[in-house]
Structure 1
């Protein structure tokens, strides 16, 4: 009887839950802000579609159906996973060391990054796709650069491959955002160094959204640049 009871309990035991993360290193301090000596970066909470705004991985079974995986989950909520990955990626590539934060009293320019994920698709054994509208705005400026990125990455079988594909795709978007932040910072420095009263009316800053140009990426990146005032 005891042997039979143990066998039944073993058979009924649920499979272990597997957790995945979009981060590659230790997650930064959850302030959303990181900084260099000359400016700081503030990534706002990320918006994602309601269908994937959960801890479980959601994979496509066909064009109109998805499967929610109870035993394969994100280490934290998907919006937080994307946000933390962007904080780390943008900070590293825009010249902000690690997760250093700026004290409230320090007077440095801040660049606010807003991210709205339109699509977050996972196709096992095929590809992952993210469709993101994002913008960068300087805290002391009304000028905002809004961009639209669509990034696709091929993946092999397995849900670990799905997480890895999304990690690479988020990395492409982080690289693009970092380029815009650096362009804003360089433009602000040039304006500060320009003599006042020498050229009359100041010209408007011209910046465009970056494209994914790395041949190693399979990003179908469609950037739609426009400036909001």
Structure 2
């Protein structure tokens, strides 16, 4: 009799356990979604397989502490944000921005990243510093990035510092927000690439540089670019066009 009761009790325990697991499974949180700012592969401006005359080195990117986390952070109003636990960046936001800029600047300037320099190659390396002042996401409205960036050569004390404010409209959904940031970063990458090309063109050993053309040392005259590809940005309205 006791044996039969023991078996009955074990059956009840197993049934309760199975039911509990079923309830927990039904109540499990939705799967986490991961996003990246990586750009689509595009041909470089040069379109050549020849060894480039310079390289690009995007330094580690600074971002505001409020968004320096793995979760996406969106604005609910001017004074409040929402942290999305189930929507995250594939890597840290500073790295996502940096990798996107490395790809975008390299593609549009026609030069690979500095890490690809082979031993024995003596080519200029243009260093790019990036400080993101604002990185805002407004669902169903727009995204905005406010960036102070600079370009200099590794062997040159001359530095050009520029300020870009780019806003892109977005539809509903967090995927749309990521897409908006990708477009905005592409605009900044195009601006940086234009300055890099201007630096390279005015280098002393460049055929088009003032020094090479006149035979006398000349000072480089560089200015910050306006936004390219028709995007409406604050940089379009406030920054003078880069001298060609």
Structures share fold, TM-score greater than 0.5: yes
- Over 3 Å counting, the alpha-carbon distance change for 1:220 and 1:179 in structure 2 is same
1:66 equivalent in alignment to 2:81 = yes
Higher relative contact order (CA 8 A, sep 6+): 1
1:208 equivalent in alignment to 2:228 = no
Matches of 1:135 and 1:150, distance apart in 2: 14
Matches of 1:138 and 1:100, distance apart in 2: 15
Matches of 1:153 and 1:139, distance apart in 2: 33
CA contact (8 A) 1:118 1:133 kept: yes
Matches of 2:76 and 2:126, distance apart in 1: 39
- Over 3 Å counting, the alpha-carbon distance change for 1:71 and 1:127 in structure 2 is same
CA contact (8 A) 1:88 1:99 kept: no
Matches of 1:135 and 1:213, distance apart in 2: 17
Which residue of the partner structure matches residue 4 of structure 2? none
**What are the ranges of 5 or more consecutive residues in structure 2 without an aligned counterpart?**
1-14, 42-49
CA contact (8 A) 1:149 1:223 kept: no
Matches of 1:106 and 1:218, distance apart in 2: 40
Cα deviation code 1:154-196 (max 9, x no counterpart): 0000000010000000000000000000000000012563454
Instruction: Find 1:220's aligned residue among 208, 228, 234.
Output: 234
Matches of 1:165 and 1:36, distance apart in 2: 34
Instruction: Find 2:193's aligned residue among 155, 178, 183.
Output: 178
Determine which structure has more spread, i.e. the larger CA radius of gyration. 2
CA contact (8 A) 2:75 2:139 kept: yes
Which residue of the partner structure matches residue 5 of structure 1? 20
Matches within 5 A, 1:69-218: 69-96=84-111, 101-188=116-203, 189=206, 190-191=209-210, 193-194=212-213, 196=215, 199=216, 202-215=217-230, 217-218=231-232
- Over 3 Å counting, the alpha-carbon distance change for 1:36 and 1:152 in structure 2 is farther
Matches of 2:177 and 2:98, distance apart in 1: 18
Matches of 1:50 and 1:36, distance apart in 2: 40
Q: CA deviation at 1:141?
A: 1.5
Cα deviation code 1:87-132 (max 9, x no counterpart): 0000000012588711243211110000000000000000000000
Structure 1 ranges of 4+ moved more than 4 A: 97-100, 222-225
- TM-score of the two chains, using structure 1 as the length reference: 0.85
Q: CA deviation at 1:219?
A: 2.5
Matches of 1:17 and 1:99, distance apart in 2: 34
RMSD, aligned CA: 2.2
Matches of 2:32 and 2:114, distance apart in 1: 30
- TM-score of the two chains, using structure 2 as the length reference: 0.80
